[in-house]
Amino acid sequence: MEIIHKTGEEGGSFFAKEDGKDMGYLSYEWASPTVFAIMHTVVEEAFRGKGVAMALLSAAVSFARENGYKIRPVCPYAENVFHRGDEYNDIKV
């Protein structure tokens, strides 16, 4: 699985691809210069249950940690994962 990150002034997305097929995406919007809100995590039906959503979220978390950003988990998937444990306390808003 390949994760591709595209970013812009208002937000960005992480895309999961495998063998040229779109597996899913995670989109975010900038809430401030140092905080982004994860708005949507979408996985194509054929790829559900294969760890795609977690791979996308892990890419977003790595991006935040590497750049000193914080994350506001708005989408239900991200919010659920962030509330499971303390491993995201350093980046969660």
Tokens (6 digits) for 40: 């949507």
Within 13 Å and on the Cβ side, how many CA atoms surround 83? Answer: 8
Which residues is 43 bridged to in the sheet?
24
In whole angstroms, what is the distance from residue 22 CA to residue 47 CA? 9
Report domain 2-82's class: alpha beta
Q: What percent of the chain has pLDDT over 90?
A: 94
In whole angstroms, what is the distance from residue 38 CA to residue 46 CA? 23
pLDDT score for 19: 93
Q: pLDDT band for 85, please (50, 70, 90 cuts).
A: confident
